[in-house]
């Protein structure tokens, strides 16, 4: 008993140390990748507004000496972020006000979304989070009580989505507490976690977390976020297997990103790699039009052509649904092919 506790403690310190040891210095990352910063179109202004942040294990999957590596392009602060693009703003989906007040977002029927943690292990350049008022959004204990009460008072809610930012940045004890609270709500059937951590920092899947998710009274769905086949490393596949052994359903959502995954070949490879790891493709999102991300945009017409070709090449269950998010809708908007 004591022995296993020690081993577990060691494991959980591990992910927090790895998190703290991630790259936050552009020069260091460039040295590690054998790249010359001057060749990369780096923007100090962009980095000051939304800093570089990338776990070492994720950087290890980047190809050395390749300035166009698809994983590097997701995290490198570049000059293009400073170009204005028409139609791009700081709150494209219109959620920010609603979120920061309550920590709860109830837009869709039967599903309520909790903003667990506003921060992340990695700063993805295409993300809306670059304009997010972080300090305000964390689900404090007080907000948590109100949020759980909100579900208790609404029998029509059958699913809670733990999102962020990054919900798995909460430690095991804090998540365990929340799961315990949720366990007593009879009408709540599913707990869904939206997280990029199993991809970018797989050591986060500790034995305690596996126990917590595996013993949940509600069914647990983990929606991962991976955009490129190179992200699915052996250690990612190993933790996915452990999750599946606990009956956790694994899905993946991606964002369609120019020069990163905007071809049928790349998306087919991603779907194949995901399925090998026991993950089903769920959504392929069109980019939210967030200021600073215009250079990642793939037009709706191109997106349709790409996904049609994916559909021609793969079995139906490996084709993600192409969607976009629009303010004021009752669901994500499916894009007809």
Ligand X SMILES: *Cc1c(COP(=O)(O)O)cnc(C)c1O
Q: Which of 196, 203, 257, 205 is nearest to 231 (CA)?
A: 196
Cβ 50 to ligand SF4 shortest distance, Å:
9
Which helix or strand (DSSP H or E) is residue 281 part of?
A: strand 280-285
Q: Which CB sits closer to ligand SF4, 159 or 166?
A: 166
Contact between residue 198 and residue 169 where contact means Cβ atoms under 8 Å apart: no
Site for ligand X in 91-110 (CB under 6 A): 105, 107-108
Cβ 172 to ligand X shortest distance, Å:
25
Contact between residue 290 and residue 90 where contact means Cβ atoms under 8 Å apart: yes
Q: Which does 124 bind (CB under 5 to 8 A by kind): ligand X, ligand SF4, none?
A: ligand SF4
Helix (H, G, I), strand (E, B) or coil at 203: helix
**Residues contacting ligand X: total by CB under 6 A:** 8
Q: Which CB sits closer to ligand X, 11 or 111?
A: 111
Pull the structure tokens for residue 114: 């909790």
- Cα separation, 22 vs 55, in Å, equals 4
Q: Which CB sits closer to ligand X, 208 or 226?
A: 226
| Positive or negative: CA dihedral 294, 291, 69, 264 | negative
Query: Strand ranges (DSSP E) for 171-303?
Result: 190-195, 219-225, 249-255, 280-285
Q: By CB under 6 A, is residue 113 in contact with ligand X?
A: yes
User: Any idea of the CA torsion for 235, 238, 242, 244, to the nearest 10 degrees?
Assistant: 110
Pull the structure tokens for residue 337: 């092919």
| Of the residues 196, 204, 266, 285, which one makes contact with ligand SF4 according to CB under 6 A | 196
Other Cβ atoms less than 10 A from the Cβ of 20: the count is 9
Q: Which CB sits closer to ligand SF4, 188 or 266?
A: 266
Q: Which does 113 bind (CB under 5 to 8 A by kind): ligand SF4, ligand X, none?
A: ligand X
Q: By CB under 6 A, is residue 332 in contact with ligand X?
A: yes
Pull the structure tokens for residue 297: 């945009």
| Of the residues 225, 228, 285, 324, which one makes contact with ligand SF4 according to CB under 6 A | 225
Q: Which does 161 bind (CB under 5 to 8 A by kind): ligand X, ligand SF4, none?
A: ligand X
Place of tokens 């980047």: 62
Site for ligand SF4 in 117-146 (CB under 6 A): 120, 122-124, 127, 129
Site for ligand X in 136-175 (CB under 6 A): 161
List residues binding ligand X (CB under 6 A): 105, 107-108, 111, 113, 161, 331-332
Q: Which residues lie near ligand SF4 (CB under 6 A)?
A: 120, 122-124, 127, 129, 164-166, 196, 225
């Amino acid at each position: 008993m004591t022995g296993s506790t020690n081993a577990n403690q060691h494991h959980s310190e591990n992910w927090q140390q790895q998190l703290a040891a991630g790259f936050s210095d552009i020069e260091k990352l460039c040295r590690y990748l054998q790249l010359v910063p001057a060749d990369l179109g780096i923007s100090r202004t962009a980095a000051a507004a939304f800093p570089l942040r990338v776990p070492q294990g994720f950087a290890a999957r980047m190809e050395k000496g390749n300035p166009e590596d698809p994983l590097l392009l997701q995290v490198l602060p570049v000059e293009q972020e400073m170009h204005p693009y028409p139609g791009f703003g700081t709150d494209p989906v219109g959620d920010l006000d609603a979120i920061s007040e309550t920590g709860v977002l109830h837009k869709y029927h039967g599903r309520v979304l909790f903003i667990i943690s506003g921060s992340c292990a990695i700063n993805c350049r295409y993300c809306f989070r670059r304009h997010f008022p972080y300090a305000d959004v964390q689900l404090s204990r007080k907000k948590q009580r109100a949020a759980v009460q909100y579900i208790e008072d609404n029998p029509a809610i059958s699913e809670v989505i733990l999102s962020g930012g990054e919900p798995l940045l909460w430690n095991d004890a804090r998540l365990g507490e929340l799961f315990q609270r949720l366990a007593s709500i009879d009408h709540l059937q599913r707990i869904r976690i939206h997280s990029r951590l199993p991809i970018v920092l797989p050591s986060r899947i500790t034995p305690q977390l596996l126990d917590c998710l595996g013993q949940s009274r509600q069914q647990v769905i983990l929606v991962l976020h991976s955009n490129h086949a190179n992200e699915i490393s052996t250690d990612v596949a190993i933790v996915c297997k452990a999750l599946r052994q606990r009956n956790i359903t694994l899905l993946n959502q991606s964002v369609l990103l120019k020069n990163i995954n905007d071809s049928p070949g790349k998306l087919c490879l991603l779907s194949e790699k995901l399925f090998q790891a026991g993950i089903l493709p769920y959504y392929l999102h069109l980019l939210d039009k967030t200021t600073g991300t215009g250079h990642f945009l793939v037009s709706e017409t191109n997106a349709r052509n790409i996904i049609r070709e994916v559909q021609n090449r793969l079995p139906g269950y490996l084709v993600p649904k192409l969607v976009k998010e629009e303010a004021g809708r009752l669901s994500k908007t499916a894009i007809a092919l």
